[in-house]
Structure 1
Amino acid sequence: MNNEQYPFNVDKVEKPYLVCFEDSWVHNDELHSHNKGQLIYVESGFQYLTVEEKIYLLPKNHAAWIPSNCIHKTNWGSKKIKLMIMFFDLEKEAPFYNEISVFLVPPVLKEMIKYAEKWSKKLREDPNETLFLGTLLNELPQFVVRSQQLYITPPADKRLSNATAYLHEHYAENLAMEDLSQIAALSIRTVERIFKKQTGLTLSKYQQLLRILKSIELLNEQELTISEIAFRVGYKSLQAYTNSFFSVMQYRPSEFLKKLGGIVSSQPDSIQ
């Protein structure tokens, strides 16, 4: 499967590396793969990405490494999003290149990625481009201090499809397994067993991750205060939201917003 967003076939380009800068990315919800490894960097906006049944969130200033021949698809995201996508022929044996990674892009790598924009969609091999992108690829594992767990794994069992859709729509409400069982018309025990087996999480933990992902979307948009976001995604207090956010992200919301390049209000997001 090779889903093309470009006027050329990526895998037939006869050069080891390829850069594609998209100023206004058009989402295409089709599963596809590439023979080349792929680095996706979100310069502005946010993007969801499905890989191996996991739905990953890529906020601004984050990147995803996708191994070669890995089936994936882009999902919904910002109405307008700027992406830098790089494709690499791989001869690397290090484990990093064979695993999915989503990570905050450090300043040095960000500048390298932006510098590479000069070669966007150029199909002829340039020795300078090859040398530069080869260095970037070689050093990439050193830039990934910690791959962030910005993903959820929705239940694949079709018997839970309506219940899952309801959960994703009403994530800010306090839902119980009994609510999902009524929607799915299955016993609580059956729903609980399927849900835990296919997501690897309890309902409360799954809902926590869903709330945090939704809050990151809102942080990314920078239209609401941190307090407003906390209540919007279902938390009863700013402190409860901050504690939950920190347990997932290892950052406070205000710290994470700074990493997105956003402006933080003077209001603290936690009680010191």
Structure 2
Amino acid sequence: MEKYVNRYYLTEVDRYDDTIYCHHAMMGEKLIPEHVHKKGQFLYTEGGVVYLNTPKQSYFLPARHYIWIPAGVRHSIHPSSAEVIMRNLYFPVYEHDDDFFMRPGIYPVDSLLMELMMFTNRWNGNIWPDDDGRYSIAKAFKMLLSELGRGALPLSLPYPSDPRLVKIVEYMDQHIANHVSFRHIANQFDISERSLARLFQKELNMSFIQYFTILRMLKGLKLLLDEKLSINEVAARVGYSSLPTFSNTFTKIVGVRPSEYVKHKSLWNQ
């Protein structure tokens, strides 16, 4: 695995319009500042959690998942550790690209994608269209993304702009282990329940319970990846007294049961 030393590849990605660019490396640092590409980006990580911020959303990328970042979307990358490994493929925008490639999204990586992605581990830099073998494989990889990625996982949260809601979501984050009800929030911030519901829908395009549930699962994922806690302990830390309820909610949002996630965690981090 190449050591990540500098960000030279960020400028190399768009040097040639028609190439597919491949880059596998250790991060080596804990921030890649905001930037943008003319190519769409497939990003898969190993060895830790990656937070990816766009002007509109904050994304949480756990192990065995990838994020698709459309061309032209400004973003910054924040790994939980400098030892996180990134696997990147950058693709030109093709005329036949469907809607899948027009929006950011996080998706699980199945065994087929994993095999193809690991096959590209031997490549680095530009793959030219006249390199029939490698270019055809890489282009087929991109086509598979839209075929297999039919349902993006809700592993992101939008940013509120209303000052009242900024304080409310900060409070929710700080009290995630508690039973923070909708009524409690309304009383705490001296706002009617009706106004609070409208504020969540208008600002975040989701309900209070949708936001709080996703926030809890993202925190749970981070605890499962970064802390040596049992699933029971993680459930309690994010405010669930019922392990089955936590497990079922986790499975619905993340796509795998927490027990399976923990079982394979050591394999993903190798």
Normalising by the residue count of structure 2, what TM-score does the alignment of the two structures yield?
0.81
Q: Distance in 2 between matches of 1:196 and 1:228?
A: 32
Tell me by how many angstroms 1:131 deviates. 2.8
Q: Deviations over 1:118-177 (max 9, x none)?
A: 222x34748143232122123322232532222222422133322222222222222244
* Structure with higher RCO (Cα < 8 A, 6+ apart): 2
Shift in alpha-carbon separation, 1:94–1:145, aligned structure 2, 3 A = closer
Report what 2:225 is aligned to. Answer: 220
Which residues of structure 2 form unaligned runs of 5+? Answer: 1-5
Residue 204 of structure 1, aligned match among 195, 205, 209: 209
Tell me by how many angstroms 1:67 deviates. 1.4
Report what 1:54 is aligned to. Answer: 57
Which deviates more from structure 2 when the two are superposed, residues 90-99 or residues 125-134? 125-134
Q: Distance in 1 between matches of 2:161 and 2:188?
A: 16
Report what 1:44 is aligned to. Answer: 47
Task: Report the RMSD for the aligned CA atoms in angstroms.
Answer: 2.9
Report the residue type matching 2:169 in the other structure: T
Shift in alpha-carbon separation, 1:25–1:203, aligned structure 2, 3 A = farther
Report what 1:144 is aligned to. Answer: 149
Q: Deviations over 1:167-208 (max 9, x none)?
A: 222222222446545765656554443123222333233212
Report what 2:136 is aligned to. Answer: 131
Query: What SS class does the counterpart of residue 239 from structure 2 fall into?
Result: coil
Q: What does residue range 96-135 of structure 1 map to in structure 2 within 5 Å? A: 96-120=100-124, 122-123=125-126, 125=128, 127=131, 128-135=133-140
Query: What SS class does the counterpart of residue 71 from structure 2 fall into?
Result: coil
Q: Distance in 2 between matches of 1:115 and 1:157?
A: 46
Query: What SS class does the counterpart of residue 38 from structure 1 fall into?
Result: strand
Q: Distance in 1 between matches of 2:121 and 2:72?
A: 24
Q: Distance in 2 between matches of 1:18 and 1:226?
A: 39
1:64 aligns with 2:67: yes
Tell me by how many angstroms 1:22 deviates. 2.4
Q: Deviations over 1:84-118 (max 9, x none)?
A: 11111121332222222311111121121122122
Which residues of structure 1 form unaligned runs of 5+? Answer: 264-272
Residue 7 of structure 2, aligned match among 5, 8, 11: 5
- Sequence identity (%): 26
Q: What does residue range 151-190 of structure 1 map to in structure 2 within 5 Å? A: 151-177=156-182, 180=185, 189-190=194-195
Q: Distance in 2 between matches of 1:187 and 1:174?
A: 19
Q: Distance in 2 between matches of 1:214 and 1:84?
A: 24
Shift in alpha-carbon separation, 1:232–1:8, aligned structure 2, 3 A = closer
Shift in alpha-carbon separation, 1:188–1:216, aligned structure 2, 3 A = same
Cα contact 1:58–1:102 (8 A) shared by 2: yes
Cα contact 1:18–1:87 (8 A) shared by 2: yes
Q: Deviations over 1:62-92 (max 9, x none)?
A: 1011111123332453453111111111213
Shift in alpha-carbon separation, 1:148–1:197, aligned structure 2, 3 A = same
Shift in alpha-carbon separation, 1:25–1:108, aligned structure 2, 3 A = farther
Report the residue type matching 1:97 in the other structure: F
Tell me by how many angstroms 1:258 deviates. 4.6
Count how many residue pairs are aligned between Structure 1 and Structure 2.
259
Normalising by the residue count of structure 1, what TM-score does the alignment of the two structures yield?
0.81
Which deviates more from structure 2 when the two are superposed, residues 249-258 or residues 182-191? 182-191
Query: What SS class does the counterpart of residue 14 from structure 2 fall into?
Result: helix
Report what 2:247 is aligned to. Answer: 242
